[in-house]
Amino acid sequence: MEKDIQSIMKQVDERQEELLDLLKTLIRFRTPAPPARNTEEVQAYIASFLKNKGFDIDTWDVYPNDPNVVGVLKGKESDAYQSLMINGHVDVAEIGEDEQWEVDPFIPVVRDDVIIGRGAADMKGGLAGALFAIQLLFEAGVELPGDLTFQSVIGEEVGEAGTLECCKRGYEADFAVVVDTSDLEIHGQGGVITGWITIKSENTYHDATRRNMVHAGGNLFAASAINKMVKILNGLEDLERHWAVTKSYPGYPPGTNTINPAVIEGGRHAAFIADECRLWITVHYYPNETHETVAKEVEEHILNVAAADPWLKENPPLFTWGGTSMIEDRGEIFPSLEVDENHEAVNLLANSHQHVTGAEVIKGVSQSVTDGGWLGDAGIPTAIYGPGDTFNAHSVNEQLSISQLIDYTKIMIKFIYEWTHTAKTKQGVSANHDPSAENASSM
């Protein structure tokens, strides 16, 4: 096996122009989100690509013109060998009107050792490398004993969680790799949840009555919702500081768990006292926390703040958490993900990395978030591992190292082969295996 797999991996060098052409093709599909609703063509391309490699294809609209694509390649001995899921998103970061790109962001440019274009790093490079690895295995006549599932999803950039929809549809595997931007490091991640805190009065008053609610003898039990939101803002800042000194997680600088007061809306007209004020917050939390427990902590703290204020005590703040889309309902959730560094698939991935690069893989945590948390939340052991770095993700003149893409593609060839050749025990735990005893042409 080793000799045959090495031969397949060598083809990545020999055919790197084909790999780059595949990535260029993916970049040319204009799929920024927002505005979204623009991935139908690229998803049709990926579905056709996978179908031609023997995958059974499932496609459905998550939103109009934004379909998910899942390809499943059934293994020869599915019950006996481990299954693998590869996951990635086709939407890319939006393009600002004032961004000064060298050329059209969707016309890829190759220069020196980089390819430039929107999505090169985040994360069409990861998709291209994984797809090309599958292509080379297929062309070599490799038949995997374990199942291989490829998920090409929508909506990651705007919290629409195409990956969650795949989980709801019942897709699962013994291990999943999210091929998102990680600079070829094996990552877990913290999580993100957005929320709305609303202060609302039962009564609305003309602004001429303001003196009656703020001066002695006014005899009016009332308040401006905007004024009262200041106390909520101060309370959130106190909680954020408390978290910074009481919580930590390896790999993160102190105070990474933040509460960002991102948007504030309130009042109806200059002639009225503000009877409602809404605050949109984003909360970042650590991999060993859940969005439910973090949201509960925020609520409990803010309700305590409100209880100390006579008016807020009678008009307590209301909370709305999460959402399914930053576009549709202005809310999102990215669950956290902890990687089991002792999982056999993680060790195989690390060994594949070292075999190709000659260096030990770094196991750490993402400074951003991906859809990986949804897979972990569904009970699928998962790791984030892909080419590209977060410095380039979402950046002007976004680019990806070609050398890193080539290494990544080789690593995926070796890992896909080895993990799907890992035998299951009756308990579902991997048994020791010897891939070298397999025949790569009749797996």
Task: pLDDT tens for the chain, 443 residues: list them.
Answer: 666 999 999 999 999 999 999 999 999 999 999 999 999 999 999 999 999 999 999 999 999 999 999 999 999 999 999 999 999 999 999 999 899 999 999 999 999 999 999 999 999 999 999 999 999 999 999 999 999 999 999 999 999 999 999 999 999 999 999 999 999 999 999 999 999 999 999 999 999 999 999 888 888 999 999 999 999 999 999 999 999 999 999 999 999 999 999 999 999 999 999 999 999 999 999 999 999 999 999 999 999 999 999 999 999 999 999 999 999 999 999 999 999 999 999 999 999 999 999 999 999 999 999 999 999 999 999 999 999 999 999 999 999 999 999 999 999 999 999 999 999 975 444 544 444 344 333 33
Active site residue 240: no
3-state secondary structure the chain: CHHHHHHHHHHHHHCHHHHHHHHHHHHHCCCEECCCCCCHHHHHHHHHHHHCCCCEEEEEEEECCEEEEEEEECCCCCCCECCEEEEEECCEECCCCCCCCCCCCCCCEEECCEEECCCHHHHHHHHHHHHHHHHHHHHCCCCCCCCEEEEEECCHHHCCCHHHHHHHCCCCCCEEEECCCCCCCEEEECEEEEEEEEEECCCCCEHHHHHHHHCCCCCCCCCCHHHHHHHHHHHHHHHHHHHHHHCCCCCCCCCCCCEEEEEEEECCCCCECCCEEEEEEEEEECCCCCHHHHHHHHHHHHHHHHHCCHHHHHCCCEEEECCCECCCCCECEECCECCCCCCHHHHHHHHHHHHHHCCCCCEEEECCCCCHHHHHHCCCCEEECCCCCCCCCCCCCCEEEHHHHHHHHHHHHHHHHHHHCCEECCCCCECCCCHHHCCCCCC
Cross-strand bridge partners of residue 384:
178, 187
pLDDT at position 425 is 76
| CATH match of 191-333 with 3.40.50.970 | no
For the chain, residues classed under CATH 3.30.70.360 are 191-333
Using CA atoms of 42, 44, 45, 47 in order, give the dihedral in degrees to the nearest 10.
120
| 136, 11 contact by CB (below 8 A) | yes
Residue ranges, comma separated, of all CATH 3.40.630.10 domains in the chain are 2-189+337-437
Task: Work out the number of other CB atoms within 10 angstroms of the CB of residue 360.
Answer: 10
Take residue 395 and report the two structure tokens written for it.
């950046």
pTM: 0.93
What is the pLDDT, as a whole number, of residue 3? 66
Separation of alpha carbons 148 and 143, rounded Å: 11
Selecting among 66, 122, 147, 156, the annotated active-site residue is 156
Q: Which residues, other chains included, contact 434 with Cβ-Cβ below 8 Å and sequence gap of 6+? A: none
Q: Which CATH class is domain 2-189+337-437?
A: alpha beta
SS (H, E, C) 175-220: EEEECCCCCCCEEEECEEEEEEEEEECCCCCEHHHHHHHHCCCCCC
Say what the pLDDT of residue 439 is: 38
| Burial of residue 79, with CB atoms counted within 10 A of its CB: 0-12 exposed, 13-18 middle, 19 or more buried | exposed
Side-chain half-sphere of 345: how many Cα atoms within 13 Å?
Answer: 28
Q: How far apart are CA 259 and CA 193, in angstroms?
A: 10
Q: Tell me whether residue 112 is one of the annotated catalytic residues.
A: no
Give residue for tokens 């993160």: 252
Find the Cα–Cα–Cα–Cα dihedral 48, 50, 52, 53, rounded to 10°. 170
